[in-house]
Homo-oligomer: A and B are copies of this chain.
Amino acid sequence: MIKQEAFGVEPWGLPETALDLDVLAQSESVFALANGHIGWRGTLDEGEPHGLPGSYLNGFYEARPLPYAEPEYGLPESGQTIINVTNGKLIRLFVDDEPFDVRYGQLRSHQRRLDFRAGVLTRQADWVSRAGAQARISSTRLVSFTQRAVAAIYYEVEPLDGQRRIVVQSELLANEQLPGSDGDPRRAAVLKNVLQSEHTTAQDSTVLAVHKTAVSGLRIGAAMDHLVDAPTSVLVESHAHGNGGMVTASCVLTPGQRLTMTKFVAYGWSGERTVDAISAQVIAGLTGAKQSGWDGLLAEQRAYLDDFWGRADVAIDGDEEVQQAVRFALFHVLQAGARAESRAIPAKGLTGPGYDGHAFWDTETFVLPILTVTAPEAAASALRWRHSTLPTARQRAKQLGFEGAAFPWRTISGAECSGYWPAGLAAFHINADIADAAARYVEMTGDEQFEQHEGMDLLTDTARLWRSLGHHDAPGRFHIDGVTGPDEYSAIADNNVYTNLMAQQNLIAAADAAEKYPDRARELGISPEESADWRDAASAMVIPYDEALGVHSQAEAFTRHQVWDFEHTPADDYPLMLSHPYVDLYRKQVVKQADLVLAMHTRGDAFTAEEKSRNFDYYEALTVRDSSLSACTQSVIATEVGQLDLAFDYLGEAALMDLLDLEHNTRDGVHIASLAGTWIALVSGFGGLRHRAKIVTFRPRLPEGIARLAFNIEVRGRRLQVEVTRSTARYLLAKGDPLEIVHYDKSLKLTAGQQQQRSIAPIPPRQRPQQPAGREPAHRRNGTSAS
């Protein structure tokens, strides 16, 4: 766990005041810079020591065989794993021949800071070598949001104690030595020498390297160029080798004199283009960056972020930690999705190799709800990526004997990479999650082009999947049997409520789209019989409900199963899947992550307030939160049922997941969906934002710990500003045509520039529900969480 003291609290940045080598890998994830296309982990400039070096390009992977003890029909034979590409971050320093390495000599001070508005990672170090030479090093690193192929570093060094020979060596390095894997299934497989050299050159201050992966056959180009400046004469030389090359600058400086190096790096990759084309492409990227220059890149970056924060910022009074955390979260969500441009948004973004760099349902269910209302183009781009994988998903459905499309549980390119089907393939809900994200995007943006084409394709093929997965029983009810819901501590169950409700919505949305766009329906071969069949299945959908207990059953028979013996489960046993077999978890009432409770968020219309309240209490007692995708949803529903303190506690957990390394795997990358959950807990939770049938509704309500919450969303091209206090909500349409919204069931017509204020009725305190013994969230009080 990262000690909370490691990071200072400030509203627009994440400062680190000292270097703790024990949590180096975690800090590399937290300080990672990315733009959705390039990802650079926050390693030290000089490369070593490191936790887990990492430079990533979205979609760039190597294939690896998936082994099975007992082969089965339909399991993928080959998986995909994100790989550490050519490292362009390296700037090594030698002071009088001694390498700058924080492990040797004396590190007098060391500060880093991630700046959410500037979009840069800065670093300052005062170091004394073992020979006694003192130097001050500072660097600023950015991965450009505006030039997606480009990253850059401004590096500065000054001797503090006398005349010193300063040598700065910038490298471009493929096939870095990686630390070994410790066997954690969530850790990406370590691949050695995965990049085969095709072409490297060094000329003046430029180095270019093109490599190719052996099995996936993807080609990557990386190039760097440098501006070196010093008040004395500087010798600059460059060298190339099979893994890349280096540019070395040497000079002699006295205190007050500084050597500065601006390093421009460009990346490109392709599965098709030649060595020549890739080389030209990265040289072009480099030229663009040099034309902007360092100051230009900085300015573009800030302008891009000013625009983003103007649209997306969430402001909080009363909890500085959460204030910082939600901006940290938004910054990382933006970094993951900003320029993905027809590539996936992986679960860890481009901040680490966790989950092999795969994208899951997280994207559609947790990340896209934010991007849809804060950066709609990024949301559209992510959905276009899914759409581009439709042929693969159709083929997969066919292979499995189903109609329509079966999207992969985890993937980089669109091919299924899950090797354990009960918690992969059987989690068919991902298909409805994708349909839901597409429909939500259309509702919130009004993008009819997308709706008619990508949207309708996605809705149709997923509806066809559901129709073929489910069946009518003798009395005509529609069942979807043998599936796994979001809760991975149950599997292969009949009529999972979340799945069935999401499938129901999916089927209706597809039928509605076919009605709205008859020409496209004909094109897609949707007959009136077929869409009637969809509506029929949707209306006859079985939703298990336990009459005796008066709660919904997460799936058929779930509430009849034995309750897990939480009382006798030691704290060390969590997460349970690492100390108990699935055969035991599956048979019992124990919930890894919100499932029925998530259904009450995504399909809140399907439950009465009374049902929500009873269900929430029931599932609280069973939910252990062994997944990072739970606290935010529990926070949202806790708010809705009037459990504001509890909601605030869950907000704290979601918000601090990575900053406090609550799941002990932030080293492999930050949890993009859980970070997104911070926004969800605030905006959908305390802000009470929902949308249905194009109407945006609010039921805002703040917990004790938050005095004021302000956020913006974009709805069909209009910017809506919402400001909530404990007693009132103010709505302002910043621009655009009038917009109808709903505040606590009352309709409200907003016209641009005219703020409207509504009161929020207080609610009576309710008894706090029980969580499993030892799994209560840390109490959040006075701006900190403590158990």
Report A's interface with B, CB cutoff 8 A: 66-75, 79, 183, 185, 400-402, 418-422, 425-426, 469, 471, 473-474, 479, 481-483, 491-492, 494, 548, 556-557, 560-562, 577-584, 586-588
On whether A579 and B73 interact (CB within 8 A), knowing A471-B562, A587-B482, the answer reads yes
With most chain B CB atoms within 10 A of its CB, the pick from A68, A471, A587 is A587
Contacts of A582 in B (CB 8 A): 72-74, 421
Determine whether the beta carbon of A479 is less than 8 Å from that of B583. Answer: no
A185 to chain B, nearest CB (A): 5
Determine whether the beta carbon of A581 is less than 8 Å from that of B70. Answer: no
**Which residue in B72, B419, B482 is a CB contact (below 8 Å) of A70?**
B419
A72 to B420, CA, bound (A): 9
Contacts of A578 in B (CB 8 A): 73
Determine whether the beta carbon of B494 is less than 8 Å from that of A581. Answer: no
A398 to chain B, nearest CB (A): 12
Contacts of A71 in B (CB 8 A): 183, 185
- Tell me the nearest residue of chain B to A472, going by C-beta: B562
**Which residue in B473, B556, B581, B588 is a CB contact (below 8 Å) of A74?**
B581
A479 to B556, CA, bound (A): 15
Contacts of A67 in B (CB 8 A): 67-69
Determine whether the beta carbon of A79 is less than 8 Å from that of B73. Answer: no
Determine whether the beta carbon of B421 is less than 8 Å from that of A73. Answer: no
New A-B contacts (11) at CB < 8 Å, excluding given A69-B79, A73-B577: A66-B69, A69-B419, A73-B582, A400-B580, A401-B580, A421-B581, A421-B582, A474-B548, A481-B587, A482-B561, A482-B583
Contacts of A418 in B (CB 8 A): 69-70
A79 to B70, CA, bound (A): 11
Contacts of A584 in B (CB 8 A): 400-402
With most chain B CB atoms within 10 A of its CB, the pick from A70, A74, A400, A473 is A70
**Which residue in B68, B400, B401, B473 is a CB contact (below 8 Å) of A419?**
B68
A743 to B578, CA, bound (A): 56
- Tell me the nearest residue of chain B to A79, going by C-beta: B69
A426 to B422, CA, bound (A): 13
Determine whether the beta carbon of B473 is less than 8 Å from that of A560. Answer: yes
With most chain B CB atoms within 10 A of its CB, the pick from A469, A482, A577 is A482
With most chain B CB atoms within 10 A of its CB, the pick from A69, A183, A562 is A69
Contacts of A588 in B (CB 8 A): 481
A561 to B183, CA, bound (A): 39
A474 to B586, CA, bound (A): 20
On whether A491 and B492 interact (CB within 8 A), knowing A68-B419, A400-B583, the answer reads yes
**Which residue in B70, B426, B581 is a CB contact (below 8 Å) of A73?**
B581
Contacts of A185 in B (CB 8 A): 70-72
On whether A492 and B586 interact (CB within 8 A), knowing A69-B67, A73-B581, A401-B580, the answer reads yes
A66 to B74, CA, bound (A): 19
Determine whether the beta carbon of A74 is less than 8 Å from that of B425. Answer: no
On whether A557 and B557 interact (CB within 8 A), knowing A71-B183, A548-B474, A586-B482, the answer reads yes
10 contacts between A and B (CB under 8 A): A68-B68, A70-B418, A73-B581, A74-B582, A422-B492, A473-B560, A479-B562, A481-B587, A492-B586, A494-B557
A183 to B73, CA, bound (A): 12
Contacts of A482 in B (CB 8 A): 561, 583, 586-587
Contacts of A421 in B (CB 8 A): 581-583
A70 to B471, CA, bound (A): 31
A420 to B70, CA, bound (A): 6
Determine whether the beta carbon of A425 is less than 8 Å from that of B583. Answer: yes
Contacts of A483 in B (CB 8 A): 587
A66 to B473, CA, bound (A): 41
A146 to B479, CA, bound (A): 61
Contacts of A492 in B (CB 8 A): 422, 491-492, 583, 586-587
A72 to B491, CA, bound (A): 14
- Tell me the nearest residue of chain B to A75, going by C-beta: B69
A337 to B72, CA, bound (A): 31
A407 to B186, CA, bound (A): 30
A566 to chain B, nearest CB (A): 13
On whether A479 and B560 interact (CB within 8 A), knowing A425-B581, A474-B548, the answer reads yes
A554 to chain B, nearest CB (A): 14
A408 to chain B, nearest CB (A): 13
A587 to B587, CA, bound (A): 17
Determine whether the beta carbon of A72 is less than 8 Å from that of B560. Answer: no
Determine whether the beta carbon of A69 is less than 8 Å from that of B473. Answer: no
Contacts of A70 in B (CB 8 A): 185, 418-420
A432 to chain B, nearest CB (A): 16
A102 to chain B, nearest CB (A): 35
A476 to chain B, nearest CB (A): 13
**Which residue in B73, B474, B481, B581 is a CB contact (below 8 Å) of A401?**
B581
A536 to chain B, nearest CB (A): 16
**Which residue in B481, B491, B556 is a CB contact (below 8 Å) of A562?**
B481
A405 to chain B, nearest CB (A): 15
A66 to B68, CA, bound (A): 8
**Which residue in B66, B73, B581 is a CB contact (below 8 Å) of A580?**
B73
A592 to chain B, nearest CB (A): 13
Determine whether the beta carbon of A400 is less than 8 Å from that of B473. Answer: no
On whether A72 and B577 interact (CB within 8 A), knowing A67-B67, A560-B473, the answer reads yes
A68 to chain B, nearest CB (A): 6
A402 to B418, CA, bound (A): 29
- Tell me the nearest residue of chain B to A561, going by C-beta: B481
Determine whether the beta carbon of B556 is less than 8 Å from that of A557. Answer: yes
Contacts of A422 in B (CB 8 A): 422, 492
Determine whether the beta carbon of B72 is less than 8 Å from that of A426. Answer: no
- Tell me the nearest residue of chain B to A581, going by C-beta: B74
A70 to B69, CA, bound (A): 11
A435 to chain B, nearest CB (A): 20
A67 to B399, CA, bound (A): 24
- Tell me the nearest residue of chain B to A492, going by C-beta: B492
A703 to B607, CA, bound (A): 61
A422 to chain B, nearest CB (A): 7
